[in-house]
Structure 1
């Protein structure tokens, strides 16, 4: 019995009329599906700026009270531009001064209020999701030192796909001894999150140029940081009393 000849790839495609169009339609469906996944990974807030501003003051005050700081959150000339950008970002407004598909890395001097801004944002974001039982992931707000220890215990893959705000980014030790091996937990996590396109936010006292040096994450991770983050500067001196 004559053995059936395997068709070449070119022959297999050419015997189907309209095969190119079919493949193009397949590609369009894949692209649409991936864009839909990008939209679904972000919970967008439905507020006007005046509403967002008022809520930010109230939830910011709640954050301060949780820290046992008996004072109200204040919006002023130093932090309002960053809060305005957070509103643009959280409402997917094209007025945002950056790429809406990237995360936000809030930079500034020690004590200028970076942490309280993103902690307030995460509290508001998570409260709405919990209150209305919405099918969106919560934002994990975690300090880089604590995150590094959690990665060492659980592995970086445990934190690869969920949205995270990394507070005090760059202050953790860059290498860790693990059973005699030297590992770089945060660098490994950043590499994985970059590969998966997972939304990452953070605060840092350091610039991208500093974070890209060998004393921090190196040029390869620095290049990924540029791809992952919008860098927003929070101006002003320390607010700590």
Structure 2
């Protein structure tokens, strides 16, 4: 804890200010600084939704083109609510339909467009940071299988603090044998990131109940997932052609 001024207990008792008041003010200052730190991690987004929507379509279409897909990104009745929620979340707007202090876990059927949406969100977010030199970290978009491979090659510390967007969450092996030891890299990483408040988003084909089952991460990690993520469902069938 930071100190405004180092005072001994004797000095405190010789003033009209109580020890309780001093400690309360110190803690309130710390809480305020933590809130400001969280707010500074969000983009100063001076755009209305129609402008954000147009930029999202352009960024999504670019994302398709770089993947050698010739169609454009389309916002329709199935995904417009999700795009709007991402806009409110990026603005840190209290009308967001969830908890702004949690990340977003986009869930839905195979092929319904979850990856395209959060990949586009990542591209647009990172472009704005780089374009205007905003002093906040870039998102790292990574599939859960690749993340697990990187955790085994490097360490959990390599991915502890950086903002992550974990694609296809739950598709990776939940345990790994390493010289007779059973390791759970993703579970360990999630626990550490929750404890330090690192920003984490993701996509998944599975419900929270399934992810919290013994066949996946189990009840303890499942309970942490509730604390980490706003689970938002993307409706609709596969868009793949």
TM over 0.5: yes
Match of 1:153 in 2: 153
Once the two structures are TM-superposed, the CA of residue 199 in structure 1 deviates from its matched residue by 1.0
Distance in structure 2 (CA, Å) of the matches to 1:149 and 1:15 = 60
Q: Which residue in 1 is equivalent to 2:175?
A: 175
* Residue segments in structure 2 that go unaligned for 5+ positions in a row: 1-7
Report how far residue 178 of structure 1 moved: 2.3
Are positions 1:75 and 2:108 aligned together? no
CA deviations on 1:168-196 (whole Å, 9 max, x unpaired) are 00000001122332100100000000100
Q: Which runs of structure 2 are paired with 1:159-238 in the superposition (5 Å)?
A: 159-238=159-238
Show the 5 A alignment for 1:10-21. Answer: 14-15=13-14, 17-18=16-17, 19-21=19-21
What runs of 5+ residues in structure 1 fail to find an aligned partner? 1-8
- How far did 1:44 drift? 4.2
Task: Say whether the 8 Å CA contact 2:42–2:91 is kept in structure 1.
Answer: no
Q: How far, CA to CA, are the matches of 1:183 and 1:160 in structure 2?
A: 17
- Report the secondary structure of 2:122's partner residue: helix
Structure-1-length-normalised TM-score: 0.92
Q: Which has the larger radius of gyration?
A: 1
Shift of 1:143: 0.2
Are 2:121 and 1:121 aligned? yes
C-alpha RMSD over aligned residues: 1.6
Q: How many residues align?
A: 233
1:105 Cα offset (Å)? 0.2
Instruction: Decide whether aligned partners of structure 1 residues 11 and 133 sit closer, same or farther in structure 2, where only a CA change above 3 A counts.
Output: closer
The answer to whether the Cα contact below 8 Å between 1:144 and 1:171 also exists between their aligned partners in 2 is yes
Stretches (4+) displaced over 3 A:
9-17
Per-residue Cα deviation, 1:16-41 (whole angstroms, up to 9, x for no partner): 54132222211111111111111122
Deviation per residue, 1:138-174 (Å, 9 max, x gap): 0000000000011111111211111100000000000
| 2:113 is equivalent to residue 94 of structure 1 | no
Looking at structure 2, the residues matched to 154 and 179 of structure 1 have their Cα atoms a distance apart, in angstroms, of 17
- Give the distance between the partners of 2:138 and 2:194, measured in 1 at CA: 19
8 Å contact kept, 1:119–1:141: yes
TM-score normalised to structure 2 length = 0.92
